[in-house]
Amino acid sequence: MISFSQNQSIMNENFAIVIHGGAGTILKKNMTPAMEKAYQEKLQEALDSGYTILKNGGSAIDAVEKAILVMEDSPLFNAGKGAVYTNASTNELDASIMDGKTLNAGAVAGVSHIKNPIKLARVVMEKSEHIMLSGKGAEDFAKQHQLEMVDSAYFYNEHRLNQLNKIKKTEKIQLDHSDEKNQGDASAFKDSKFGTVGAVALDKHGNLAAATSTGGMTNKKFGRIGDSPIIGAGTYANNATCAVSCTGHGEFFIRNVVAYDVAALMEYKNMRLVDAANYVVKEKLVKLGGEGGLIAIDKHGNIAMPFNTKGMYRGYKKSSGESEILIFKN
């Protein structure tokens, strides 16, 4: 009934990568030109690093991992190095990755001493019989597999600590991104702002992959797990349909099983990628009040980057030569 054919033997020159660095109340008026340039340059670097892998015949899974690594190592995004603080002034990071060829996947939730959670998610996918590991147990697994561990000082970030302290005053759980320019203004936190980085890719072998990494919500408590490490909610890839990575108010993405929903609409309702993605983000999520966006790519290299917030850090690069980095609504 449903075909998982992967066209592995057909080497095509049609490949592409799409990335995001979070969606939220991202407005040009709140951003300095220097800050805008910094985001554009880092997004370009992430995009180029993944694209180079694809161009050289590498796998979609390698490309998405590499693009995420670049963003995890930058303090600009709420993932890896730039992760926001929990209520306890710790950092608890989540990540997941899925291979559209095998439907295999790996995810980690609530890790505090892993430099690159996306690397750990990939090792979970490839070296464990599990999909999702959490907390200290996930870190024990990381040590066994020689992943780079860091102490909490690695995540030290005065800007993020200021975010936490301000929001603690307002006692409001807060999603990232802050308006960079308004960080001195507690009222700016009234806006929903989201972090999270993600990447999806189609390689020359016709394989799709998706990956997502996040530091979660500023001031989060109680070991909260959002959609980013949940296969089907924040991340999904299947060669038969598409690869998807989400960013936004995670609870709504979980309830709507957003990443898989895009694939299901394509597979079961024969919707085009862009229609399925738009329908989920701009109709279904909006109906429930769920803010955010997603990036998606299908097996033909069509892409979609819908969001229902003011902006979303995003970019794509296709083998056709088309490429763009975007931040605000067009």
Hey, which residues are catalytic here?
Answer: 196
* Contact between 146 and a second copy per CB under 8 A: no
According to DSSP, residue 241 is labeled S
| Residue from 148, 283, 322, 324 in contact with a second copy (CB under 8 A) | 283
Taking the least distance from each CB to a second copy, the nearer of 52 and 102 is 102
CA distance 276 to 86: 34
| Cα–Cα distance measured from residue 51 to residue 46, given in angstroms and rounded to the nearest whole number | 9
Number of shown-chain residues binding a second copy (CB under 8 A): 50
Is 129 among the residues that bind a second copy (CB under 8 A)?
yes
Q: Which stretch binds a second copy (CB under 8 A): 17-25, 65-73, 224-232, 303-311?
A: 224-232
Q: Does 19 interact with a second copy (rule: CB under 8 A)?
A: no
- What is the token pair recorded at 199? 């990447």
Cα Rg of the chain, angstroms: 18
Q: How far apart are CA 292 and CA 246, in angstroms?
A: 8
Considering only residues 287-326, where is the footprint of a second copy by CB under 8 A?
A: 287-288
Question: Is 223 a binder of a second copy (CB under 8 A)?
Answer: yes
- Is the CB of 66 or the CB of 249 nearer to a second copy? 249
The whole-angstrom distance between residue 313's C-alpha and the CA centroid of its chain comes to 11
232 belongs to the binding site for a second copy (CB under 8 A) = yes
CA distance readout (Å), 22 to 66, 136, 212, 213, 325: 17, 27, 10, 10, 13
By CB under 8 A, tell whether 268 contacts a second copy.
yes
The contacts of residue 172 (CB under 8 Å, 6+ apart) are: 189, 219
CA separation for the pair 47, 163 (Å, rounded): 28
* Choices 13-21, 52-60, 99-107, 198-206; region in contact with a second copy by CB under 8 A: 99-107
Give me the least distance between CB of 132 and a second copy, in Å please.
4
* Closer to a second copy by Cβ: residue 16 or 142: 142
Place of tokens 């180029």: 48
Output the smallest distance, CB 310 to a second copy, in A.
22
Q: Tell me the closest approach of the beta carbon of residue 181 to a second copy, in angstroms.
A: 27
80 binds a second copy (CB under 8 A): no
Q: Which of 26, 264, 277, 285 binds a second copy (CB under 8 A)?
A: 264
Nearest to 163 by CA among 140, 136, 193: 193
CA distance 188 to 183: 7
The verdict on 68 binding a second copy (CB under 8 A) reads no
Query: Which residues lie below 8 Å from residue 148, measured CB to CB, with a gap of 6+?
Result: 114, 115, 116, 119
Question: Which residues are near a second copy by CB under 8 A?
Answer: 1-2, 4, 103-105, 109-110, 128-138, 140-141, 173, 221-226, 230-233, 236, 250-251, 254-257, 260-261, 264-265, 268-269, 279, 283-284, 287-288
